[in-house]
Amino acid sequence: QCLFERNKPNILYALLFTLMEVEKLFTHHVENIMIVISGVLL
């Protein structure tokens, strides 16, 4: 348990970093979709 308590912040940082990376990828994906939709509409 002591080891886990010490590692908890690292796990939280890793989770946060992963979420940020996923969000970046998702945002980029959404931008591409918007560009495609714009191209189709115009």
Q: How many domains would you assign to the chain? A: 1
Given a cut of 80, whether residue 27 has pLDDT beyond it is yes
pTM comes to 0.51
Q: State which residues form the domain around 5.
A: 1-42
Cα(42)–Cα(5) distance, integer angstroms: 56
How many CA atoms are closer than 13 Å to the CA of 3, on its beta-carbon side? 0
Percent of the chain having pLDDT more than 90?
Answer: 26
Amino acid (one-letter) located at 8: K
Other beta carbons less than 10 A from residue 24's beta carbon: 10
- State how far the alpha carbon of 34 is from the alpha carbons of 8, 9, 19, 26, in Å: 38, 37, 22, 12
